[in-house]
Chains A and B, each alone.
Chain A
Amino acid sequence: MHRMMYPQIKACISFAIACCIFLNSCHSDNKAVQLADTTAKTPPPIRYEPIAAVSSLDKSPMDVIYFPPEYPKLKMLDSIKTPPVFRIFYSRPQRSGRKIFGNVVKYGEHWRLGANEATEIEFFEDVYIQQTKIPAGRYILYCIPQPAEWTIVINKDLYSWGLKIDTNKDIFKFTVPTIKTEKPIEEFTIDATQSGAGADLWIGWDDTKIVLPVEIRNPKP
Chain B
Amino acid sequence: MSRRRVVITGIGMISPLGTSAGECWSALLEGRPSVAATPASWRQYAETASTIWAPLPPIDWPAHGISRIEQMQLDTSGMLTLAASTEAIRDAGIAASLADPKKKTFRLDGLAPERCGVFMGTGVGGITSFYGNAVNHVMSPLKSVLADPTSLPPMPPRFNPFGVPAMMPNAVSALPGIRWSLGGPNLTFSQACAAGTVAVGHAFRAIAAGDVDVALCGGAEYLGDPYGGIFRGFDIARTLVTEGSDPQRANRPFDRDRTGFLFAEGGAAVLVCEEADAARRRGARAYAEIVGYAENFDGYSIMSIEPSGTRIVAMIEAAVRDAGCTTADIDYVNTHGTGTAVNDEIESAVIDQIFGSKPLVNATKSLTGHCIGASGGLEAAVTALSLAHQTTHACHNLEQPIRDLRFVRAAGPYRIDTAITQSFAFGGHNAAVVMKRIA
A and B held together in a complex:
no
B residues lining the A interface (CB < 8 Å)? none
